[in-house]
Chain A
Amino acid sequence: ELKVEQNPLFLSMQEGKNYTIYCNYSTTSDRLYWYRQDPGKSLESLFVLLSNGAVKQEGRLMASLDTKARLSTLHITAAVHDLSATYFCAVDMWGDFGNEKLTFGTGTRLTIIP
C-alpha cells in the first residue's frame, strides 16, 4: 500500500524567511503533484513533477522531485502572508485504465506571521 508522508505537519514562519516542506512516498512513482488548499476551499494545482530531477518554480515556490529517494520538496523563498494555506503533495498511481488515483500526503499547514 502506498504511503505518502509530509513533514512538518504544521509550520509557522515569519515573513521574509525561507523554508522547505518534505514529501516522502513509499513505492515507485515518477509523477508527483503539489496542491494548495485555503481553509474551506478546494484544491488548487500548483505543480506537476513528471520525472527524476524535475524542478518547477512559480513565484516564491519551487518544487523538486527525486524519484530515487522517493522524495519531493516544496521550497518557499522569502515567505509572504498570502502563502498561508495547507499544502498537499499527491502521488499518482497509474493503473490499467490510466491515471487512476492520487494518494495524498498528510498536508502541511503553513502560517506566515508578519
Chain B
Amino acid sequence: EPEVTQTPSHQVTQMGQEVILRCVPISNHLYFYWYRQILGQKVEFLVSFYNNEISEKSEIFDDQFSVERPDGSNFTLKIRSTKLEDSAMYFCASSDGGVETQYFGPGTRLLVL
C-alpha cells in the first residue's frame, strides 16, 4: 500500500541553525501539506502546496519557513533559523484532492536546543 515517508525520523539542532525536513508523498497525489504537533497538543496546519506553489499558509508559517518540491518526488520544509519553540513533531501529508482524506507520514521529531 502506498505511503508517505519522511526523513529524518529525529533531528536535534542548535538554536539558530537551519534544518530541512524531507518528505516523499504518495506518487499520484497532487496536494501536499505540512503540519506540526507540539508535544501533548493538537495537530496544527502549517502550509499547503499545489501546482508548485503555496496555496495556503497559517500564521505559524512565517518568513523563517519555506517549502519546496525540488524534483518529482520530494517535498521539503526548511526552517532557516530555528527557535526553541520550533521543537515539535512535523508531519507531512498528501492527498489527491477531491474528497479523499489526507495521508500522513510518520513524522520528524525536531528538538531545538
Closest chain A residue to B103 by CB distance? Answer: A45
Within B78-111, which residues are at the interface with A (CB < 8 Å)?
A: 91, 95, 97-107
Size range of the chain A interface in the assembly: 20 to 34
Partner of B48, one of A33, A45, A101: A101
- Shortest beta-carbon distance, A58 to chain B, in Å? 13
Pairwise interchain contact B55-A95, C-beta atoms closer than 8 A: yes
A interface: dominant SS: strand
Chain B CB within 8 A of A88 CB: yes
- Shortest beta-carbon distance, B88 to chain A, in Å? 13
Q: In the bound complex, how far is the Cα of B44 from the Cα of A42, in angstroms?
A: 14
Closest chain A residue to B43 by CB distance? Answer: A104
Task: Tell me the B residues contacting A by CB distance below 8 Å.
Answer: 31, 33, 35, 42-45, 48, 50-51, 55-56, 58, 91, 95, 97-107
